[in-house]
Structure 1
Amino acid sequence: MQNMPTFVFVHGAFANSFSFAPLQAELALLGHRSVAVDLPGHGFEATFPSAYQAPQDLNALAAEPGSIKGVTLADNVAHLVEVLKRAKQNGPTILVGHSRGGITITAAGNARPELIDRIAYVSAWCPVDLEVAGYYAEPEMAEVDPGAFAPAIVGNPAELGLIRTNFRTADPATLAAFKQAFSADLTDDEFRTFLNTFQPDENLDVGTSTDRAQGTTWGRIPKTYVRLANDASIPLVMQDRMIREANTLTPDNPFEVRTLEGSHLHWLVRPKPAAELLANLAAR
């Protein structure tokens, strides 16, 4: 057991450790251990105001404080490093990030590369040449319209100190925008089930230029990028751009690239192919 790697999963925005339960079950059946991290203010630390329940009171929801206010990327990294320290006592670690979780695992790789035996991105942000906010202005993101979600934003993020999204909206146009962005290839029931695992609040800190991948630290870690071929949230062209930038930064340690079919959330809802891919990484 000592040489058996532990998968450490880091979720994306508005998500939590619950997202990984089906994938962890598949990995366990293949004989692999894993832990899914709840970053600060996520999971059972999340705020679900009574105004978020039905019938909703959107005016009250817009003013309700949230526990994630003030949480920073540095807080996320510090929490993740403590998990990695404990996991490392039992053998190698494979750190896996999805979506916005890529920002956190990149910063952790910069800070403590010795705790990570392989770092893996599944359609996750891997900022190299730009900060994540800068990538949204690039041509590869031209077909992504963040404004489509604007009707679901509740309150003023600057005043709340967080981003609050009403995932329990009944507005058909907003729900259609969510589904198109995250899970166009899932059934309506699968989509709504996943949507109900999301929490309403997310922190504001997506990092600065100092949190981009650093060749001398992060660049030493063996790395894999799992492309999601039908992702409308981080399009394939953007995934490929980040892979190219990382390979330019560390030409002697390029990404091993794999591809899974499906949308941004498909691999978590129907996880068997992803589990088999990850198990192959562990075997090597």
Structure 2
Amino acid sequence: MQPTFVLVHGAFANSFSFAPLQAELGLLGHRSVAVDLPGHGFAATYPRAYQAPQDLAALADAPGAIKGVTLADNVAHLIGILERARRNGPVVLVSHSRGGLTATVVANQRPDLIDRIVYVSAWCPVDLDVNAYYAEPEMATVDAAGPASAMVGNPAELGLLRCNFRTADPAVLAAFKAAFLADGTDDEFMVFLNTFQPDENLDAGTPDDRARADTWGRIPKSYIRLTEDTSVPLAMQDRMIREGDALTPDNPFDVRTLTSSHLNWLVDPAPAAQVLAELA
């Protein structure tokens, strides 16, 4: 029986970015479901002040629907989707970037719902929580200054992270492109940037949300490395693979590699679809 691929997006993203990948999977004969985590997709907030001409002062204070959304909310939502998908046969859970955190906690809680878990340059916290990994040497090459300059408002007051992806600042746009899609064209980059939503929740988990050997560790797992990723550098991807293998040496990662930046595997999805089809 063919599995259903359940696709989980990363920070500031949504299900829309998976559409080209889903088309490729469909043409290979596979079912897929792209998830919008709570506060994402059509549940996101796009304040009037975010539109042109922008009012950054108003944008800094405008409320957002994702305020108060927690990792636990993401987990409960994804479990509900997996329960429905599981009625139709096997499930392959695929996560990208920050979506790996939600996928990991779901695998800790409900390994019975997942036949294979796949991380695509995604966070798979094992020895540390995600916040702590950012202080590690493998993340030293990440240049967060440019993208950080596009942050709007006080997260503590807003209760969320807000980023002005519609900035016209050429330096910030160049930093975004370098971080997300350096191997894409300028037009591809601008199209993808306009699929991002301005708000993200604050909850990136705790040490209790790391992978557990007794549950997560029972699931067959794969890691798809993205060699040109500068947001989750290859050194960090490889570290998470090593840590996962050390946690469950009898069930190591099946490792695949794509030549891609953080986002180009979604812009040009045929190679990724082929890898996922092989895993199925």
TM-score with structure 2 setting the length: 0.99
% identical equivalent positions: 75
- Match of 1:48? 46
In 1, Cα distance between the equivalents of 2:134 and 2:86? Answer: 35
**Alpha-carbon distance, 1:217 to partner:** 0.5
**Alpha-carbon distance, 1:167 to partner:** 0.1
**Alpha-carbon distance, 1:150 to partner:** 2.2
In 1, Cα distance between the equivalents of 2:183 and 2:55? Answer: 32
- Match of 1:59? 57
Counterpart pick for 1:120 among 108, 118, 121? 118
- Match of 2:142? 144
Q: Deviations over 1:221-277 (max 9, x none)?
A: 000000001101111010000000000000000000000001000100000000011
TM-score with structure 1 setting the length: 0.98
Q: Deviations over 1:175-197 (max 9, x none)?
A: 00000011000000000000000
In 2, Cα distance between the equivalents of 1:245 and 1:145? Answer: 24
In 1, Cα distance between the equivalents of 2:163 and 2:231? Answer: 16
- Match of 1:130? 128
- Match of 1:235? 233
Which runs of no fewer than 5 residues in structure 1 stay unpaired?
none
3-state SS in 2 of match to 1:152: coil
- Match of 2:16? 18
What is the count of residue pairs matched by the alignment? 280
In 2, Cα distance between the equivalents of 1:82 and 1:179? Answer: 35
- Match of 1:107? 105
In 2, Cα distance between the equivalents of 1:115 and 1:13? Answer: 24
* Mapping of residues 69-218 of structure 1, within 5 Å: 69-218=67-216
Give 2:43's aligned amino acid: E
In 1, Cα distance between the equivalents of 2:149 and 2:135? Answer: 21
In 2, Cα distance between the equivalents of 1:72 and 1:111? Answer: 16
Counterpart pick for 1:33 among 31, 34, 41? 31
**Alpha-carbon distance, 1:147 to partner:** 2.4
Give 2:235's aligned amino acid: V
In 2, Cα distance between the equivalents of 1:151 and 1:208? Answer: 26
In 2, Cα distance between the equivalents of 1:145 and 1:185? Answer: 17
Q: Deviations over 1:82-123 (max 9, x none)?
A: 000000000000000000000000000001000000000000
**Alpha-carbon distance, 1:151 to partner:** 1.7
Give 2:29's aligned amino acid: G
Which runs of no fewer than 5 residues in structure 2 stay unpaired?
none
In 1, Cα distance between the equivalents of 2:62 and 2:88? Answer: 42
* CA RMSD between the two structures: 0.5
**Alpha-carbon distance, 1:146 to partner:** 2.0
**Alpha-carbon distance, 1:148 to partner:** 2.2
In 2, Cα distance between the equivalents of 1:231 and 1:149? Answer: 15
**Alpha-carbon distance, 1:149 to partner:** 1.5
Runs of 4+ in 1 over 6 A off after TM superposition: none
3-state SS in 1 of match to 2:96: strand
3-state SS in 2 of match to 1:153: coil
